[in-house]
A and B are shown apart, each in its own frame.
Chain A
Amino acid sequence: MTINEAQDEIIEEFAFFPEWMEKYEYIIQLAKDLPLIDGQYKTEANIIKGCQSRVWLHPEFKDGKIFFTADSDALITKGLVAMVVKVLSGQTPKEIADAEIYFIDEIGLRTHLSPTRSNGLLSMLKQMKLYAVAYQAQSLQN
């Protein structure tokens, strides 16, 4: 599945939830369903500093693709993180670096990407792209 196909799939899923509470129930469910990160990677070094909720992100580079695992101490943030991981994980560095993330806006959660929201989601997206650019540069050198 391409990044945009994964995004479109999430947008379709959210179309079933016109009510805010239903959207949030779904996000919380995503958070609860997914054990996202291996305990050994929940380190200080892997923390992305958000103001209110903490987010951990761990990248793994395998067969030319980046696989992300992540977690958060806040459930709603964790649910949002789960969606971003679903969209970007398992793609090539170039695809991740070039990706335009539009699904968060489309499902009405754009406010979560505002810098003042400080829930770590925006910083996590930036960090994922940074990893992608770094791996891209690394593969070019090799």
Chain B
Amino acid sequence: MLQNDADIIAGIDVEKVRSDFPLLTRKIYGKPLVYFDNAATSQKPTAVLDALEDYYRKYNANVHRGVHSLSQEATEAYEGARRKVAAYINAAYDHEIIFTRGTTESINLVAATFARKFLKEGDVVLISAMEHHSNIVPWQLVCEEKNAKLEVIAINEHGELLMDDFEKKLTDKVKFVSITYVSNSLGTINPVQEIIKRAHAKNIPVLIDAAQAVVHLPIDVQKLDADFLAFSSHKIYGPTGFGILYGKEEWLNKLPPYQGGGEMIKTVTFEKTIYNDLPYKFEAGTPDIAGAIGLGAAIDYINSHGKDNIFKAEEELLEYAMDALTSVKGLRIVGPLTNRVGSISFLLEGFHPFDVGEILDKQGIAVRTGHHCTQPVMDFFCIPGTVRASLSFYNTREEIDKLVKGLEKARMMLG
């Protein structure tokens, strides 16, 4: 059976994997859903849904407080999730994992606290031209406040970072570098290890936005030598509203607290508050306990397949998709042709991405259209936006064939 051969890649049986994700059986406008908006959010496996329900049904209690059994069970599961995340990205210590509401909050946390203590007038924060708005605006806010300057590493027409420009802009005035590992709109993989190395040669700390990378590439924060790394649970099969900030112990100790409240304190008097140890210093208030447990379950789920198997299967699927899409008449890929992962941004020449997206939707195919929260990237390419198909390991070759057919139908209707 040809179909079966095609759908078992790197030991991943796609049909079996799909049965783990209940939402994938949905029909849209009477047609089986083809979900290609994984860069926006991934679907959730039953294992994650069960973990969330189990927590609320069986051991819902506040963490780190009560001596009662329920609270201890909840705390154990919550802290267990921290250990799972630490292991997943190979952090040196569990307390280097800070729980946040997502990548956006993680970046805001670092921008606000770093700026408060270390950023001065005339200093420079360096980002790239392909950042998501969430890795632009937090830095703009603090630069404005401190009279510092935000500088941008340029990209070329293939959507690749210009390392010469990086070298040129990495002056002594630069106090922080914040850069995405993988572009959400172009799919470009950036040479972050090299960037970190060059920044560290000048003692400049680096934050890696791993929102897209974490679900497609192996991440080892110690090997990367990243000072900070941020990602969201919902893009890696976990629940929404929950995310991670990894920070080196040394840096997390140097930064002041972000928000004040319960949980982040040791002792409080009206004269002086002593802050709690890491990671709690950055976790004010009752946390998203279910979110942490859900992300923990998502990581267990990934490990049950083996992340290397998943990444390998995705790589082969991406290659198939790139071949199939580049053969579509009038289709232009926006972004690099190689060294990419996840998102494929494209345009059907002569047609507005919004129209193409609408007609794909009516065929049950979910893609994203627009600027993908990277308006500067669209301005660079002088386009109103793109159609973006972003893949996951639960997608099939058959679905990619459907996308190609869907695009042909769109051309016929709009032409």
Q: Which chain A residues have a beta carbon within 8 Å of chain B's beta carbons? A: 20-21, 24-25, 28, 51-54, 73-77, 118-119
Q: Is the CB of B359 within 8 A of A24?
A: yes
Chain B, interface residues (CB within 8 Å), range:
10 to 19
Q: Is the CB of A51 within 8 A of B370?
A: yes
Q: Is the CB of B29 within 8 A of A76?
A: no
**Shortest beta-carbon distance from A113 to chain B in Å:** 14
Q: Which residue of B lies closest to A23 (CB)?
A: B362
B151 within 8 A of A: no
B395 within 8 A of A: no
3 nearest A-B residue pairs (beta carbon)? A74-B352, A74-B354, A20-B362
Question: Which of A20, A28, A52, A73 contacts B29, CB < 8 Å?
Answer: A20
Give the distance in Å from the alpha carbon of A129 to the alpha carbon of B413 in the complex: 32
Q: Is the CB of A75 within 8 A of B355?
A: yes
With A24-B359, A52-B384, A73-B384 in contact, is A119–B413 under 8 Å at CB? no
Known pairs A75-B351, A119-B354; list 4 more (Cβ under 8 Å): A25-B413, A52-B353, A54-B384, A75-B355
Contacts of A73 in B (CB 8 A): 352, 384
B331 within 8 A of A: no
Give the distance in Å from the alpha carbon of A142 to the alpha carbon of B384 in the complex: 43
Q: Is the CB of B355 within 8 A of A76?
A: yes
Q: Is the CB of B362 within 8 A of A75?
A: no
Please provide the chain B residues from 386 to 415 with a CB less than 8 Å away from any CB of chain A in the complex. 413-414
**Shortest beta-carbon distance from B330 to chain A in Å:** 16
Q: Is the CB of B413 within 8 A of A24?
A: yes
Contacts of B362 in A (CB 8 A): 20-21, 24
Give the distance in Å from the alpha carbon of A118 to the alpha carbon of B358 in the complex: 13
Question: Which of A25, A52, A76 contacts B385, CB < 8 Å?
Answer: A52
Q: Which residue of B lies closest to A72 (CB)?
A: B352
Q: Is the CB of A52 within 8 A of B413?
A: no
Q: Which residue of B lies closest to A20 (CB)?
A: B362
